[in-house]
């Protein structure tokens, strides 16, 4: 079932109580990565957010056919979800893989990795929780790295990695096309003041 910011209000508190560990994927797309994660770790509750209802319907059909009960799909933008529903230190991990790089300078304000969202990511991650990110766009990756390494170095350990254990739809597509891919993991340090 696909929820919206309005319809999730009643279900979210009781659903999250079913799990001792919660993770979030921002930009679920067709759901390949999230569905594979949920099968590998059925004890983890996954919230998947996607702004495209078209892609979310594909993910929902897969979810229903596999009868997975540890995924909650949400149609909408992540910013209102964070401000209205996400609790402090709620997530063990947040996955943001192959988000739109918005390569033109005039569109950079649309990128998901912005200062305001960085504060929400920090607030909602548990200490030593991780943000898993990947992109095929080098300039975007460098901008993300700058946010973590220069602006938030006291709050995160930013580590480059080759890839993660599972593959997204976009990752498969880009690998077949021979594109260079960039991955990193940002681990929240155990500090007690927000950036």
pLDDT in tens, 69-106: 999 999 999 999 999 999 999 999 999 999 888 889 89
Asked if 74 and 49 count as a contact pair (C-beta separation under 8 A), the reply is: yes
Determine the Cα–Cα distance for residues 176 and 42; give it in Å rounded to an integer. Answer: 30
Q: Label residue 15 by pLDDT band (50, 70, 90).
A: very high
Determine the Cα–Cα distance for residues 46 and 94; give it in Å rounded to an integer. Answer: 10
- How far is the CA of 90 from the CAs of 37, 70, 94, 120, 152, in angstroms? 18, 16, 10, 11, 20
Q: Report the pLDDT averaged over residues 44-50.
A: 97
Give the helix/strand (H/E) hosting 158.
Answer: strand 156-161
Point out the least confidently predicted range of 106-110, 145-149, 151-155.
151-155
Output the average pLDDT for the chain: 90
Q: Label residue 153 by pLDDT band (50, 70, 90).
A: low
Which residues are catalytic, by number?
Answer: 100
Q: What is the DSSP string of 38-62?
A: HHH-TTEEEEEEES-HHHHHHHHHH
Spell out the domain ranges in the chain.
2-188
Q: Label residue 191 by pLDDT band (50, 70, 90).
A: low
- Residue 194 vs residue 32, higher pLDDT: 32
In sequence order, what are the residues at sequence separation of 6 or more whose Cβ sits closer than 8 angstroms to the Cβ of residue 149?
A: 158
Asked if 92 and 22 count as a contact pair (C-beta separation under 8 A), the reply is: yes
Instruction: Look at residue 135 in the predicted model and tell me its pLDDT.
Output: 93
Determine the Cα–Cα distance for residues 161 and 143; give it in Å rounded to an integer. Answer: 17
Fold of 2-188: Rossmann fold (3.40.50)
């Amino acid at each position: 079932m696909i929820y919206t910011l309005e319809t999730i209000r009643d279900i979210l508190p009781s659903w999250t109580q079913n799990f001792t560990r919660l993770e979030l994927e921002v930009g679920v797309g067709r759901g390949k990565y999230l569905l594979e994660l949920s099968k590998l770790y059925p004890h983890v509750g996954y919230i998947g957010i996607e702004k495209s209802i078209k892609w979310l319907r594909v993910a929902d059909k897969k979810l229903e056919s596999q009868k997975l009960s540890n995924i909650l799909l949400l149609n909408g933008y992540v910013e209102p979800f964070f401000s209205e529903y996400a609790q402090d230190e709620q997530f063990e991990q947040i996955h943001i893989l192959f988000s739109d790089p918005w390569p033109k300078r005039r569109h950079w304000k649309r990128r998901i990795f912005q200062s305001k969202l960085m504060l929400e990511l920090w607030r909602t991650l548990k200490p030593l929780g991780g943000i898993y990110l990947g992109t095929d766009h080098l300039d975007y990756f460098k901008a993300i790295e700058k946010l973590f390494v220069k602006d938030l170095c006291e709050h995160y350990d930013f580590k480059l990695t080759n890839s993660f254990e599972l593959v997204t739809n976009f990752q498969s597509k880009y690998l077949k096309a021979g594109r260079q891919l960039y991955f990193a993991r940002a681990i929240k340090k155990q500090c007690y003041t927000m950036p």
